[in-house]
Amino acid sequence: MDHTKNFSDQEEDYYIQAGKMARKIRKIFENKVKEGIKVLELCEAIENEIEELGGKPAFPCNIGINDVAAHYTATPEDSTVIPPGALVKVDYGVHLEGYIVDTAFSVALSNTDKKIVEEVNRALEEVVKGIRVGDKISRVGEIVDNVAREADFIVISNLHGHEIKRFNLHSGLSIPNVPNKINARFANGMVVAIEPFFTYSFGKGYVEEIQTTLIFKLSSLNRAPKEIKDYFSSLPFCERWIRKKKLDPSIVKKIPLVKYNVLVEAGGAPVAQRETTLMFSDDKVIDLVA
C-alpha cells in the first residue's frame, strides 16, 4: 500500500470492526486470567470467541507466563496451568478478510507486579497520545524509554512494534521501543502495532530464543500443499490448528516453514507487555482497540 494514500471505506471498515472484536475479547478475558487456569483452555477460549464474534484469529493466541515474553501457545495436550502470583501476557490478533488487528494485555496475579503492568500500559497510552501522522518512527522509542526510566523499569530492547499489511502480520517497518535513529515517518495509509515490553532492573533487558517452536508460518505459498495454503495463507499457525482442520500433524516436517521459537527474558526476569494497533488515515491516528 502506498503510504501517501488513505484507506478505502471497505478497508477502514474491516479494521474498525476487527478492532471492536479485539477490544471486546480483552474486556471478556482480562478477569478470566487466574491461578490454576489451563493455558490450553485459555488459548482455545479466546480463539473460539474471536470466531463467534465473526472474525478469525490472525495467529495462535500467545500466553506468556513470567519471563516468557512471546511465541508460547498451547500444544494440543498442553497441561500447563497459570501458577500462583504469575505475571501473564495475553497476545492475540483478529482479522477480517486478512485485515489484521494485533493486541495484547498483561495481568498481574501478585501485588508485586501490579506497578510494572500499570507502567507498561502508561507507556502505550503516552505513545498513542504523543504521535501524529508525519512523526518519525523513532518517537515511539523515546516515549517508551522515558516512561520506563521514570518508573525504574527496563525496556526489552529487541522486541519491537511492527507495520501490518493485509495477510501480513509483520511487514515493512520495525518500530523499536528504545531510542534509535530511524528517520522513516508515520504516514497516511499505514497500520502499525505498537507493543512496549518492560522488565525489572535485575533482568538483562533483552529476550533470547529457546529451542521450543510452537508457532509456524509458510515460508513459500508456491511450495505449500493446497490444503495448508487454503486454511492458513501467509498467517502464522500451530499444531492445534492443524489438528482442528483434521490435517496430518507431520506435515510441518515436510514443507518449508518459518519457525517462531519461544522468547524468554535473558536474565529470567518477568516481562509485562501491552499492545494496540494504530491506523493512520486522513491525517488522524486511530487506536483500533481503544
List the grid coordinates of 244. 482442528
Q: Which of 67, 163, 265, 275 is catalytic?
A: 275
Tell me whether residue 102 is one of the annotated catalytic residues: yes
Q: Which of 78, 135, 170, 287 is catalytic?
A: 170
Catalytic residue among 49, 67, 145, 195: 195
Alpha-carbon span 271 to 269, nearest angstrom:
6
Annotated catalytic residue within 91, 119, 145, 163: 91
In the three-class reduction of DSSP (H, G, I as helix; E, B as strand; rest coil), residue 200 is classed as coil
Specify whether 91 is catalytic.
yes
Question: How deeply is 31 buried, as exposed, middle or buried, from its count of CB atoms within 10 A (0-12, 13-18, 19+)?
Answer: exposed
**Which one of 145, 162, 163, 239 is the catalytic residue?**
162
User: For residues 21 and 49, what is the distance between their CA atoms, to the nearest angstrom?
Assistant: 9
Active site (annotated) includes residue 195:
yes
Cα of 6 vs its chain's centroid, Å:
24
What phi-psi label fits residue 250: left (phi over 0), alpha (psi between -120 and 50 degrees) or beta?
Answer: alpha
Q: How far apart are CA 9 and CA 248, in angstroms?
A: 40
User: Catalytic: 275?
Assistant: yes
With H, G, I as helix, E, B as strand and everything else as coil, classify residue 201: coil
Residues of the chain by 3-state class (helix, strand, coil), percent to 5: 30, 30, 40
Q: Any catalytic annotation for residue 9? A: no
| Residue of 47, 67, 102, 163 with catalytic role | 102
Rounded to whole angstroms, how far apart are CA atoms 179 and 144?
A: 9
DSSP element (H, E) containing 6 = none
What residue ranges in 179-229 does DSSP mark as E strands? 190-194, 197-199, 207-218
Tell me the C-alpha to C-alpha distance, in Å, between residue 269 and each of 114, 156, 200: 15, 11, 6
Active site residue 248: no
Active site residues: 91, 102, 162, 170, 195, 275
